[in-house]
Amino acid sequence: MDTDDLLARLTAEEADLVLDRFDEDDAWRLGSLLVQRARSRDLAVAVAIRRNGQRLFHAALPGSVADHDAWLQRKMNVVDRFGHASYLVGTRARRGGGEFDVDARVDPREFAAHGGAFPLRVRGVGVVGAVAVSGLPEADDHALVVEVLAEFLRG
């Protein structure tokens, strides 16, 4: 898939995956669904959900490491700062040969524009937080979050 097609797909995902509400119980259900899906595939990942700066859910599956937690934080910081999926932000930055770490003028120790963190956008409100996965290649981290969030929205 070329960059333009990828950007179109990522933008469409954000437009489609909008919540009507998001509270602590929703965080638990979404996080649990992500953990179940990752366990069913024997994935060594860490999962986190944050709303308005408060971590509402965290899980580290067998085989994950502490470094995954640092990646979760850095990717969710991108969502908080830019209001878009970390994969979308990174892909936009790399388009045409750019570098996020340089072009965005942010500290790479605090921000990582790599796939895996997705905005929790509530209809009529905007972005209220992020859901993130870390431990897989960036496209796979992103795909897992999108797949499970879409299922969560279907109820």
CB atoms within 10 A of CB 103: 12
pLDDT tens profile 71-97: 999 999 999 999 999 999 999 998 878
Predicted model pTM: 0.96
Name every residue whose Cβ is closer than 8 Å to that of residue 51 and which is 6 or more positions away in sequence.
22, 27, 120, 128, 129
pLDDT (0 to 100) of residue 98: 82
Angle formed at CA 114 by CA 149 and CA 86, multiple of 5 degrees: 50
Question: What parts of the chain have a pLDDT lower than 50?
Answer: none
All domains of the chain, ordered by start, with CATH?
3-154 (3.30.450.150)
pLDDT (0 to 100) of residue 99: 84
| Burial class of residue 48 in the structure, from the number of CB atoms within 10 Å of its CB (0-12 exposed, 13-18 middle, 19+ buried) | buried
Residue type, position 88, single letter: L
Q: If phi over 0 gives left and psi between -120 and 50 gives alpha, with beta otherwise, what is residue 31?
A: alpha
CB 145 within 8 A of CB 45: no
